[in-house]
A and B are shown apart, each in its own frame.
Chain A
Amino acid sequence: MSDLATPADSARSSSRHAGRHASRGPGAIVIVAAGLLVLFLALPLGAMSWRAIQESRGLTSEGRDLLWQALTLSVTTSLISLAIIALLGTPLAWLLVRRRFRGAQLVDTLVDLPIVLPPAVAGIALLMAFGRQGVFGQWLDQLGITVGFTTTAVVMAQVFVAAPFYVRSAKAGLLGVSPETEEAAKVDGATGWMVFRDITLPLALPGITAGLVLSWARALGEFGATIMFAGNFPGITQTMPLAIYGRFSAGDLQSALLLSLVLLVTSLVVLLTARTVSSRSAEDREV
């Protein structure tokens, strides 16, 4: 137990706990528990990657088309969703943090709801609102607009499930910016927009970046609401997760595996990029 703990560990933990606990490194139980979870998370991903690499030989041209179509659609729709989320979510996060208004609590809770709701519920909710027989969908249908089975529906599903992650994180970022700093800039004659652009946004950037990454990942992985609300058609509504499920349903495990691997690598690249960017911006501020 003690041989796992370096003196530095002990020193750190004792100074942090200010002598309330005996100065010891993490116990074996802590390490085993943490290790088990890491293993549990890593094992399936590793196994999947291993199988995917083994099966990647001899991918048909049809399989390549499917992969490319689904990947293009996924990247395009998730980036459009992300742009919409950032454009509408940033003002909402700012209002929720900086302004006290009636119903703020209610709005706050409402915005958090899609995080805890299963995507299937989101799918049904979207159908009931924007489906052809839905509350608004009926009007739209009379105007000749149908959203079901279109790429628009894919983006709507993604925005619905992913926006809360951005708003939450952006709020946390904005909370870290003291109103006094903003006031000071205003006293110096800056307009509201200039204050936001030059003071608030840069200071809240870590939270905003984290929010963008989180909601982008959620949009990219969106499955349940999309398949229920938007349907499943290659090139139009079949994003990567739907293509993976479709191939799995069709008994084409090889393509399903390969698509999964591509999605895994894509997500990994984005996560690593975001980490590099946010740590660099943190360094910039410290200088």
Chain B
Amino acid sequence: MQATVTMMQRVLVGVMLMLVVIGVAAPGNFAVAQTAIACVASPSGGPATPAATPATASAPDAVFPASGELTVFAAASLTNAFTQIGDEIMAANPDIVITFNFAGSQTLVTQLTQGAPADVFAAANDIQMQEAIDGGVIAGEPQTFAHNRLAIVVPADNPANISGPADLAQDDLRLVLALPEVPVGLYSRQAICAMGEDTSTYGEGFVEQVEANIVSQEEDVRVVLTKVQLGEADAGMVYVSDITADVSDDVEIIKMPEAVNVIATYPIAPVEGGDAPLAEAFIAYVRGPEGQSTLEDHGFTELP
């Protein structure tokens, strides 16, 4: 066989050359700056801005108009609870149609500020609600309607043998968190920071070790759970409310001590330009006894 340079070989050499050029041109650019967990000086555990007014036991009764179409943009962690609430309302009010758009709260804010039509916005964090308010898409005052807690989940066979939160720092663990801009991702990092402060329990350099274990950053909490369910990740951090009966066979829950856990606050508000009476009725229902009991059934904690 002759050793002449063929077209194919030339193409291959070209490809190799390009790879070399890229390798040379990008020195040290693989330092991953934006994955670092930036712990703030006082990780209070609570939300940054308490923009929403707390729910009260005497929430007004939900009065629904005779008919109408309602579009609710809600945080991904509300998927199951809100779907059931929607079914309940539609069963009681046959001429009302409720459509949900579930996604990461941050994605929803972007969609809303880009003009997506909606009547109600329910976020998993006051920060996203505040961004929506700043973006001019919220009508009226947001109200708190639910709280949630974090839990560590591992696949049912627990491949990395995690027995407590301190094990998140063990070598070569494959930890999946949500993006830091997504509420659950922020809460997860706050909890890790809180653990890092407690050096007597978690040791020195805990935050850095956990940081090094993050292998993927997902766009919402449901994807984090799926990656753990599939066994792709050794551990993930999700809301307690996400660990439903459907997934409890596939995952094991590692409890987080109250001292380091973060209480997530869920605000809800009508969207500017939406169907105001219907939106108010929906919000009242969610904050009323029926809505609250459904939310509790799905693992959300009672309003304090």
Contact = CB atoms under 8 A, between A and B. Distances in A.
B33 A149 contact: no
B219 A246 contact: yes
Q: How large is the interface on B (under 10, 10 to 19, 20 to 34, 35 or more residues)?
A: 35 or more
A166 interface: no
9 contacts: A62-B34, A65-B29, A72-B22, A90-B8, A132-B231, A149-B232, A245-B219, A249-B220, A251-B109
A147 to B, nearest CB: 10
Interface residues of A, number: 43
A250 B32 contact: no
A201 B4 CA distance: 15
A121 interface: no
A248 B220 CA distance: 12
Which of A79, A90, A249 has the most B CB atoms < 10 Å from its CB?
A: A249
B8 A201 contact: yes
Contacts of B220: 249
Interface of B: 1-2, 6-8, 11-12, 15, 18-19, 22, 26, 29-35, 104, 106-107, 109-110, 114, 128, 131, 159, 174, 176, 179-182, 214-220, 227, 230-233
A80 B214 CA distance: 25
A193 B179 CA distance: 51
Interface in A249-266: 249-253
Nearest to B114: A253
Given A127-B230, A249-B182, A79 B219 contact: no
Given A69-B30, A127-B232, A233 B215 contact: yes
Given A68-B26, A75-B22, A127-B232, A251 B215 contact: no
Nearest to A124: B230
A86 interface: yes
A246 B179 contact: yes
Contacts of B231: 131-133
A148 interface: yes
Nearest to B21: A75
Given A72-B26, A234-B32, A86 B181 contact: no
A191 B35 contact: no
B216 A232 contact: yes
A170 B29 CA distance: 37
B181 A194 contact: no
B138 to A, nearest CB: 15
A211 to B, nearest CB: 12
Contact of B19 (A76, A205, A237): A76
A252 B219 CA distance: 13
A221 interface: no
B19 to A, nearest CB: 6
Interface string A78-103: 01101100100010000000000000
Contacts of A69: 29-30, 32
Nearest to B111: A248
A26 interface: no
A250 B232 contact: no
B202 to A, nearest CB: 24
A159 interface: no
Contacts of A127: 230, 232
Contacts of A252: 181
B109 A72 contact: no
B232 A249 contact: no
Given A69-B32, A253-B114, 20 more contacts: A62-B34, A69-B29, A72-B22, A86-B11, A127-B232, A131-B232, A132-B232, A133-B230, A133-B231, A149-B232, A197-B6, A197-B8, A201-B8, A232-B216, A232-B218, A234-B32, A246-B219, A249-B219, A251-B107, A251-B109
